Amino acid sequence: MSSLVSPWRQDFPALAAFDAEGQTYLDSAATAQKPRAMLDSLLGHLAGGAANVHRAQHLPGERATRAFEATRDQAAAWLNAASRDEIVFTRGATESLNLLAYGLEHLFQPGDRIVVSALEHHANLLPWQQLALRRGLELAVLPLDAAGTIDLGRAAGLIGPRTRLLAISQLSNVLGRWQPVRELAALARAQGALSVVDGAQGAVHGRHDIQALGCDFYVCSSHKLYGPDGVGLLHGRREALERLRHWQFGGEMVLQADYEESRFRAAPLGFEAGTPPISGVIALGATLAYLAGLDATAVARHEAALHAELLAGLAVRDGVRLLGEPQLALASLTVDGVHSADLAHLLTDQGIAVRTGHHCAMPLLKRLGLSGAIRVSLGLYNDGADLERFFAALDQALELLR
């Protein structure tokens, strides 16, 4: 019996609800459960009186604006941004990446190169793919080594003088490996290219110093970071943000409007058109405060031990094949002679919540010669008992399928 117990499990009411239903949640890479501090903040804001931000002088509006902008300060501190004005609120990592693809489009000429990697989530592939198609650009794909890490040697050859932008994930949502973001961003910078880092998975595991990473833009999603859905963070270096053109129009992003022409605000408000996800942003602030109050070393130690236990259990089961060599947070797998959809169905019947399919990384799965895979992913609230239930269900399912 595993001795791994999460001291933070009780902070997440959904886990007790899952236990009552006989469900074991192992899909945190898709979306994470929410701490009570976030839930209390969300209800407190809405129950205390909703109001719009940045546009009213009355007390409810001032109160909402103050709380909204306080989260910007928290996010800037969380990422070690040089300035709070480098934080733009969006409605998710996907919207952040689309904002960049449209906002930077004017910088590209036919024949220019955009570089992505072979492991990218669709959210960090499709916006650049479509930009390349619109502007007649070359889309180059960085290869991976056998472990699932971007090959730096070959990357140096592909990130050349025609490269205008590099877009890479910090932590693969399929392979569970940290990528050499700092080194790749330096290669892009040496060629005068902009760098974009998809931190949707990476932001969840450890505190990351954006200035030390050296990228121009960094995006992440609240809902994976134990916060509410419908909120994203876009960090941009001041000089990089100044190169963005506005892509959505209306509301308080305007500085001066007339019938014939208008002038628009700079970042961040210039890129927050319309009514933003106010309650979600305020609740994200409570989430960041909760996370900042945890012992980061203890969290990292627990996550590492839990991940090691997951890998050890998979290693002793015949026919289980891992995708790459995952370092933390998750493991994607197939089983010889067993269709992933059939296995997922039997796991679901036993109350095990994992994900199956291409994990929004269809080109990667195709390169690996797979139609799908099972992904087991972990949050700080998971413990050894969750893995025991998973392995018991896995053994029973394989006994039926083989």
- Is 17:395 a contact under the CB 8 Å cutoff? no
Largest CA distance in the chain: 71
Distance CA 318, CA 343 (A): 15
Strands 113-117 and 194-198: unpaired
Q: Catalytic positions, please?
A: 360
With tokens 């006994």, the residue in question is 399
Torsion angles phi and psi, residue 112, rounded to 5 = -65, 160
Report the side by side order of strands in the sheet with 232-236: 87-90, 232-236, 217-221, 194-198, 163-169, 113-117, 138-142
Query: Distance between CA atoms of 381 and 302, rounded to whole angstroms?
Result: 9
Separation between Cα atoms, residue 112 and residue 105, nearest integer Å:
11
Q: What are phi and psi of 46, to 5 degrees?
A: -70, -40
> CA quadruple 130, 133, 139, 144: dihedral positive or negative?
positive
